[in-house]
Amino acid sequence: MAFDPIQSLSRVRHEFGEHGGVNMSIEASTTYTVMEAGIMPEIFQGRMGPDTGGCYLYGRHFNPTVYVLGRYLAAIEGTEAGYATSSGISAIACAIMQLCGPGDEIVASNAIYGGTFALLKEYLPLKTGIKVKFVDIGDMEAVKAAISDKTKVVYTESISNPTMVVADIPQLADIAQKAGAQLVVDNTFSPMIMSPAQHGADIVVHSLTKFIGGCSDIIAGAVCASKDFISQLMDLHTGSIMLLGPTMDPRVAFDLSLRLPHLGLRMKEHSRRAMYFAAQLAQLDIPVAYPGLSDHPQHDLLTGLVNEGFGFGGLFAIDLGTSDRAFEFMNYLQQQESFGYLAVSLGYFDTLMSCSASSTSSELTEDELREAGIQPGLVRVSLGYTGTLEDRWAQFERALRHVGKL
């Protein structure tokens, strides 16, 4: 049967508050009482955890509130376990560093979030001796050719930032598995919409800062994977989350846990509006990248990967030809129409727009931008759900007219 993230989330054991409250309590403690001194060595050797008669030990290791958020996120992704971190980039960095050491190789998509690109291209090779090969992730022959016996990770985003290229997760999982590598998928763009682990991804990472948080008020991340991998990340001696320490505050975990019950509703509305905008833009012959449109190169692929009922996501990109026109367009919408903000990030309840080449993807060189298909006039729009759809479209049309595109 098809995976249903809403049903999966609803089946997670509910955590009542300390006094029977409908919401869980916030466990704001950094250390935990060991009730019997004799069991301390057992706890430290990892033989006695919170579920087996021990205790949570110390807040950087495990916090019950953060632990519950991890369980909820794991349910949404359909993985055995999950754990939340203080940012998306720390979740990505820790997952990768847990899997790779000096001399190991990563095959990564060349169209990924700029911060991840810089981490893989500059930081990790320099600091750890990990080698990274970037490929067009849609080109399976290129992916296979880049794989070697040292490849430990194949890395991609489910839907890429900002070009809206959809990754063929089943094929990539197959290639990775044959090579003895792990497929790591960043699912930040499509929570609920797609569940990469259901299609063979080994590890799913998230920036919770975007759609999952939904209010542009919290930086946070998560790793969803097997129980075994999550415990590796938290190992007292060799765990990258444990030892590098991107710990999520329990208050933040509590806040985020209250946003999961309506994540599905929000994603549906983001998608419904983005689909409407994309269809209108296509009709007006404005170059638009949106995987919900039937002429998008990976539309059929995505149709086969999505969970039913959540649409195709809240992001689309339009090419306005030049960066000057892109800037004028965004200025007009923000200043004259009070529609949207000229701001990086995405997944906010209001609309955010940015010119990717000169902002979130500015870590890429001009050649890399061209290879990744990021045009200078490309405006990425993360469509919010405030205001009425008809009114918002009318505003968007006026902005297009203002820059001479209508």
**Among 271, 109, 276, 135, which Cα is nearest to 191's?**
271
Binding track, positions 200-239, relative to ligand PLP; x by CB under 6 A: -------x-xx--------x-x------------------
**DSSP state at residue 247:** B
The Cβ of residue 249 has, within 10 Å, a number of other Cβ atoms equal to: 17
Angle at 128 between CA 365 and CA 89, to 5 degrees: 60
Min separation Cβ 188 and ligand PLP, Å: 4
Q: Which of 113, 117, 155, 211 binds ligand PLP (CB under 6 A)?
A: 113
Min separation Cβ 114 and ligand PLP, Å: 9
Q: Is 187 near ligand PLP (CB under 6 A)?
A: no
Select the residue whose beta carbon is closest to ligand PLP and give its number: 88
Min separation Cβ 100 and ligand PLP, Å: 18
> Residues 56-93, buried b or exposed e (16+ Cβ, 10 A)?
bbebebbbbbbbbbbbbbbbbbbbebbbbbbbbbbbbb
Q: Is 114 near ligand PLP (CB under 6 A)?
A: no
Per DSSP (E only), the strands in 81-228 are 81-85, 105-109, 131-135, 151-157, 182-186, 203-207, 221-225
Q: Is 115 near ligand PLP (CB under 6 A)?
A: yes
Q: Is 188 near ligand PLP (CB under 6 A)?
A: yes
- What region does 347 belong to: left with phi over 0, alpha with psi -120 to 50, or beta? left
Q: Is 354 near ligand PLP (CB under 6 A)?
A: no
What is the torsional sign of CA 170, 175, 178, 182? negative
Min separation Cβ 153 and ligand PLP, Å: 15
Amino acid letter for position 301: L
CB-wise, 67 or 117, nearer to ligand PLP? 117
Min separation Cβ 285 and ligand PLP, Å: 29
Binding track, positions 138-157, relative to ligand PLP; x by CB under 6 A: -------------------x
Q: Whole-angstrom Cα distance, residue 75 to residue 193?
A: 14
Q: Is 121 near ligand PLP (CB under 6 A)?
A: no
Q: Assign 229 to helix, strand or coil.
A: helix
CB-wise, 156 or 395, nearer to ligand PLP? 156
CA atoms within 13 A on the CB side of 102: 4
Residues in contact with ligand PLP, total (CB under 6 A)?
16
- Cα distances (Å, whole numbers) of residue 173 to 75, 91, 145, 227: 20, 20, 15, 19
CB-wise, 116 or 271, nearer to ligand PLP? 116
Q: Is 116 near ligand PLP (CB under 6 A)?
A: yes
> Residues 320-345, buried b or exposed e (16+ Cβ, 10 A)?
bbebebbbbbbebbbeebebbbbbeb
Min separation Cβ 308 and ligand PLP, Å: 23
Site residues for ligand PLP, window 80-99 (CB under 6 A)?
A: 87-89
Min separation Cβ 388 and ligand PLP, Å: 28
CB-wise, 65 or 187, nearer to ligand PLP? 187
Q: Assign 396 to helix, strand or coil.
A: helix
Q: Whole-angstrom Cα distance, residue 270 to residue 300?
A: 20
CB-wise, 219 or 399, nearer to ligand PLP? 219
CB-wise, 48 or 94, nearer to ligand PLP? 94
Positions touching ligand PLP (CB under 6 A) are 87-89, 113, 115-116, 157, 161, 186, 188-189, 207, 209-210, 219, 221
